[in-house]
Copies of this chain bind each other. A is one copy, B any other.
């Protein structure tokens, strides 16, 4: 007999989040820092059970997306090639020794030319389309590796990844700029200035970055202003390069409020029509689509 609840898992490089679900209703949730990069292949089952064992009272479907399906993950789920539906191929079964676990991993997407990949965001796109049937446009998923995906007729037609979030964090934590900015606080005017500069002269990024340090030393720029200006410079340069994705398009921003906020602000200034969807909601909605597909093919 099958339990009629199921478990949704978002398993990235540095995080693990799980939700105990009844259809599309959240019964419970849990998270840990047992991301893919912290685990060997033999550790995945234990890391998952550490979060969800209390939810299991019989064989239960676990639907997972993200880096857990990479070559270094629990079980490789080979990329589907775009153009294709965001959940272009069936989930891949991962071996578990606990008989209560029936683990299915959603494949990521790849693009051959220019070479690009995603794992996890395809599930959010699928969730967004499930909530917005027939939607055509561009889905932007800001984050460590921001994705812009052109969606038409239920398929991801093309996509492009920008390392904007990772540039921000590696610079903020590991470069000389770590002395000049905070991890919290925000200066809206400094963000707007950085955005304007980043869009006007994106090639000057490396000079503007050192300029943040010099402005701290010579002008006592505030750490909040430096942080916001850095974000503006990076997002500004990204918007210039991503222009073919947003110009004349309707854009859906999918993510947590703290990452979608600056992009919304920037796209508003370009008069781009933007709607916002919560990233965790879309993960669960996408995994629900994947879970439903299991039943159809069973």
Contacts and interface: CB of A to CB of B under 8 A. Distances in A.
A214 B116 CA distance: 5
A171 interface: yes
A98 interface: no
A114 interface: yes
A203 B241 contact: yes
- The bracket for how many chain A residues form the interface is 35 or more
Interface in A156-171: 160-164, 166-167, 170-171
Interface string A149-182: 0000000000011111011001101111000000
A210 B242 CA distance: 14
Interface in A205-229: 205-207, 209-211, 213-215, 217-219
A207 B237 CA distance: 10
Interface string A224-249: 00000000001001101110000000
A116 to B, nearest CB: 5
Instruction: State the oligomeric state as a number of copies.
Output: 2
Given A174-B174, A218-B110, A206 B117 contact: no
Which of A173, A218, A238 has the most B CB atoms < 10 Å from its CB? A218
A115 B215 contact: yes
Nearest to A207: B162
A25 interface: no
B162 A116 contact: no
B164 A206 contact: yes
A30 B207 CA distance: 33
Given A206-B163, A210-B163, A218 B170 contact: no
A201 interface: yes
A127 B163 CA distance: 40
A271 interface: no
B175 A170 contact: yes
Contact of A205 (B116, B205, B219): B205
Contact of A206 (B167, B201, B204): B167
14 contacts: A110-B218, A114-B211, A115-B214, A115-B217, A116-B210, A116-B211, A117-B217, A162-B207, A167-B175, A170-B170, A202-B205, A203-B240, A206-B234, A206-B241
